[in-house]
Every structure is written in C-alpha cells, then in structure tokens.
Amino acid sequence: MHADFYGNYSYAGTPFVDNNCTRDSDNILIYGHKLRDGSVFRSLLNDGEKAYWQEYPTIMFSDLYADYEYEVMAAFYDRVYSSKEPGFRYYQFTDVADEEEFNYAINKYKEKFLYDTGVDASCGDKLITLSTCVYIVKQVRIRWWRMSAPRRWRMC
C-alpha cells in the first residue's frame, strides 16, 4: 500500500494484484490509491462520468508476457461488507466454477452499473477489475471499480 516497486517507502504506493489471483485467473483484481495530484488510480473517478468513458472506452494492461486491450464494461460504486452482512463481494470473484457462477456475478455487477456501455461478458472472458477507495458518504468506505471484458480473450 505504501511501497514503491522496489520496496522503498512511497506514500502513493504501487498498484498491486490481489493475492488470490494468478495470471490465469478469470478476474484479476488490481488495487491502487487515488491521490489528489491525479496519480495512480485517481483518473478512475472520471470513469464514473459517461463522457469520460466515451472518450476512453478501452484500457491497456501489460504483464511480463504480453500487452492486452480491454473494453470497459462497467463503472460503479460498491462497498466492503462485514463478515456478518449478506451481499455479493466483487473482491472475492477471481475464478469461476461454472457458467452459472459467472452469470450470477455479472448480473450482480449489472445491478450497480452507473451507465450502460453496451459491452457484455460471457463465460470464458478474461476480466480485470481496478479498485480504489472513494468516500462518498461520511464515515463509510466505498469501493469503486471498473471491470473490463476483452473481446479477443475467450476460453469457452
């Protein structure tokens, strides 16, 4: 959270992949800070605005092996639930057992969409989720994330 790529202290930190994800996960969760100076994931907040998404409808993601282009499927607000609260936890959706589980997750996301991008996902699509904190209600921590579905990466 507060270390640079080399492990040195950095207030901005470095975006990082959830420890439950692997390179082959169905949904790779990437967390990062949003800073007032516009760095790290600050621009994600603009994706809450439809006009910003229309100008930037794709996202590039690179790992050590390849570069990938994803279409933005959704922008929405969500929160972290306590262990005793019911609710779908997007931050636990990394791999799917079957098509039914995948469709359940996508439908839960659709319930929260801020606007319709016209992009849909189907079982076998590889997804990425970018997540950062947003404080839109006093004393309540809200997660904001963006999920992208690549059209060229299908497994089914």
The whole-number pLDDT of residue 37 equals 62
The whole-number pLDDT of residue 6 equals 86
The whole-number pLDDT of residue 146 equals 45
The whole-number pLDDT of residue 138 equals 43
Domains of the chain: 16-149 (2.40.260.10)
Contact criterion met (CB below 8 Å) for 23 and 36:
no
Q: What string of H, E and C letters represents the secondary structure of the chain?
A: CCECCCCCECCCCCCEECCCCCCCCCEEEEECCECCCCCECHHHHHHHCHHHHHHCCEEEEECCCCEEEEEEEEEEEEECCCCCCCCCCHHHCCCCCCHHHHHHHHHHHHCCCCCCCCCCCCCCCCEEEEEEEEEEECCEEEEEEEEEECCCCCCC
The whole-number pLDDT of residue 141 equals 39
Predicted TM-score (pTM) of the model is 0.75
The whole-number pLDDT of residue 144 equals 42
Task: List Cα–Cα distances, 25 to 19, 95, 143, in angstroms.
Answer: 11, 6, 21
The whole-number pLDDT of residue 65 equals 87
How would you write the pLDDT of the chain (156 residues) with one tens digit per residue? Answer: 777 778 888 777 778 888 999 988 999 888 877 666 655 665 555 555 778 778 888 888 888 888 888 888 888 777 777 888 888 887 788 898 899 999 998 888 888 888 888 888 889 898 888 887 766 554 333 344 444 444 433 333
Q: Which two tokens stand for residue 53?
A: 């998404």
The whole-number pLDDT of residue 134 equals 67
